Structure 1
Amino acid sequence: MAKIALVSHPESLHHIEHKVGGWYDTGLTERGQRQAKAIATALAEAGIHACSIYSSDLQRTAQTAEIIAQTLASPVILDQRLREMSYGAAEGRDQAWFDQQIVYPPNGVGRLDHRIYPSSENRREVATRVYAAMEMITATAEQQLVIVTHGFAATFVIAAWLGMPLESVGLVAFRVTSGSISWLTQTAPFHNRMLDRLNDTQHLTNL
């Protein structure tokens, strides 16, 4: 059975500073580092070991991947296509300010190309690069993989894994919170792909 552990990075400095994330490049907090170690332990206990770890190249994900790699004895491969949505000129600004600037998407057509902020990426742009990364990642022969990404980008990792056409992801959202693990599997002999578990945070208890 093929198994992918999809990790959303834990607490980052921009979280506690209440800043807009996206490509705003901050590292993990001390709490986030402890959470990353808990993620690594949970993966090891699930039998993940010595497999490739693909990660967004931003600090908060790269640091998470490196902490996991130390426990799993695994190589880390950084890929900027796994980054979070870019919020353009809003990145690094106060989140409360940004919340007042968001242009919400319509309930219907046009969502894929809608920009919530003038210089932000849209869903199509994020999905296109994440889908390209997933095509490369899933072409490997490895039966176990770890992918470390971000809360919004994770939706498109899951959608790509399930074979959803890119044109269909204007409406889809899989809720993934910081520090969570989601499990993507493919079973023999029918080779069906599944979202086996979404947003597991049991390992973060008391952290």
Structure 2
Amino acid sequence: MTIIVVARHAQSEHHINGLTGGWTDTGLTDLGRRQAASLAMRLKAELDGIPCRLFTSDLQRAAQTAGFISEALNLEPQVVPSLREYNNGIAAGRTVAEAEQLQLAPAEPFVDWRPYPGAETWREFYQRVAGWMETLPLTDDEVPILVSHGGAIKQIVTWWLGIDIDCSQGAAFDTATASITVLRINSWGERALERLNDTAHLYADDLAGTTPLIKRLANDPFNALFRRPQNDA
């Protein structure tokens, strides 16, 4: 069963200090470190014993989150700059108020608007993220775990579901900090969004009863009810 696990980084200093996100490079807060620890324990409960590979954005907030996962699952993280958040150009490192003064006038189509000098357009952002995703081997032998950012995860889901980037305006796939999103190829061979923005681990006192991911998906009654026969072309 082909599965991709995508985790958003935990709470970062820019979240609580009025700074823009994007390529602003700040580390985790105390709460963020607790979130990352809970995220890592959740992934360990679901993926322990399953061959995995760990990939992370090189921005501090993602790399530090990946560090907790690395320790929990005994994985060496591979740094992937293409998994970075949206490149917000000269707005990076600025306060939200400062960035508002730097923003360029909106243009149509939205996906080709460059909001700040030196920034990416939404199309360029999609092409960067999707371009790397196309190189990711999809096999039943191991589960890739990607640690990335809210905007990049939107692009990953858009790519996975085959949504035309020109039709993406006005729609979003929102994810909270330290959340889990799971993509898989189901028993019909379709690219499925199995889970989006799962944060149950951030509110759980005990993860001991967590059903391993592969076992839970294999026993999904929907899959059992609608699974095509093995000889079905």
Matched residue of 2:3: which SS? strand
Match of 1:196 in 2: 194
Match of 2:156 in 1: 157
Change (3 A) 1:60 1:110: same
TM-score using structure 2 length: 0.79
1:87 CA displacement: 1.1
Is the 1:88–1:119 contact (alpha carbons within 8 Å) kept by the matching residues of 2? yes
Match of 1:26 in 2: 26
Match of 1:42 in 2: 42
Q: Which runs of structure 2 are paired with 1:1-207 in the superposition (5 Å)?
A: 1-48=1-48, 49-99=50-100, 102=103, 110-139=109-138, 142-188=141-187, 190-205=188-203
1:115 CA displacement: 2.0
- The CA distance in 2 between the partners of 1:104 and 1:33, in whole Å, is 37
Number of residue pairs the alignment of both structures matches = 204
- The CA distance in 1 between the partners of 2:173 and 2:132, in whole Å, is 18
**Gaps (5+ residues) in structure 2?**
206-233
The 10-residue stretch of structure 1 (117-126 or 79-88) with the greater mean CA deviation from structure 2:
117-126
Partner amino acid for 1:89?
I
Is the 1:155–1:172 contact (alpha carbons within 8 Å) kept by the matching residues of 2? no
Partner amino acid for 2:29?
T
Matched residue of 1:46: which SS? helix
Partner amino acid for 1:76?
P
1:6 CA displacement: 0.9
TM-score using structure 1 length: 0.88
Is the 2:53–2:142 contact (alpha carbons within 8 Å) kept by the matching residues of 1? no
Matched residue of 1:197: which SS? strand
Larger radius of gyration: 2
**Gaps (5+ residues) in structure 1?**
none
- The CA distance in 1 between the partners of 2:139 and 2:122, in whole Å, is 26
Change (3 A) 1:75 1:83: same
1:91 CA displacement: 1.1
Percent identity of equivalent pairs: 37
- CA offsets, 1:95-149, max 9 Å, x none? 234346556856xx50110122333211111100101110111456644111111
Q: Could you list the runs of 4 or more consecutive aligned residues of structure 1 that deviate by over 6 angstroms after TM superposition?
A: none
1:45 CA displacement: 1.6
- The CA distance in 1 between the partners of 2:185 and 2:97, in whole Å, is 41
Is the 1:111–1:171 contact (alpha carbons within 8 Å) kept by the matching residues of 2? no
- The CA distance in 2 between the partners of 1:5 and 1:110, in whole Å, is 32
- The CA distance in 1 between the partners of 2:141 and 2:128, in whole Å, is 22
- CA offsets, 1:41-87, max 9 Å, x none? 11122235441111111111111112101111222111111100011
Is the 1:7–1:146 contact (alpha carbons within 8 Å) kept by the matching residues of 2? yes
Q: CA RMSD in A?
A: 2.3
- The CA distance in 2 between the partners of 1:206 and 1:148, in whole Å, is 21
